[in-house]
């Protein structure tokens, strides 16, 4: 049986400005914070995990 266990909490520090913009994005999309974060991370992983060029570009953009 394959089921997702969603009892883990992932936290990040963010400025009030980021939180305000993120909440506005969630409202505009019509989804809650958790759903939007899961979507964004899943999309990022799918586009970068097995693509070394995308992975290196993201790494450079982060640092």
For the chain, the structural domain boundaries read 16-62
Q: What is the pLDDT of residue 3?
A: 65
Q: What is the pLDDT of residue 35?
A: 95
User: CA 36: distance to chain centroid?
Assistant: 7
Q: What is the pLDDT of residue 6?
A: 67
Q: What is the pLDDT of residue 63?
A: 77
Q: What is the pLDDT of residue 57?
A: 92
pLDDT 10s digits, 2-56 = 566 767 888 899 999 999 999 999 999 999 999 999 999 999 999 999 999 998 9
Which string of DSSP letters, residue by residue, matches 37-48?
Answer: HHHHHHHHHHHH
Determine the Cα–Cα distance for residues 18 and 8; give it in Å rounded to an integer: 23
Residue holding tokens 């883990």? 8
- pTM beyond 0.95, yes or no: no
Task: For residue 11, give Cα distances in angstroms to 8, 40, 47, 55, 56.
Answer: 10, 15, 23, 23, 25
């Amino acid at each position: 049986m394959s089921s997702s266990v969603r009892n883990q909490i992932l936290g990040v520090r963010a400025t009030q400005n980021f939180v305000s913009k993120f909440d506005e994005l969630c409202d505009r999309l019509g989804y809650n914070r958790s759903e939007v974060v899961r979507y964004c991370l899943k999309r990022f992983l799918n586009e970068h995990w097995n693509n070394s060029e995308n992975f290196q570009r993201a790494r450079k953009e982060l640092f």
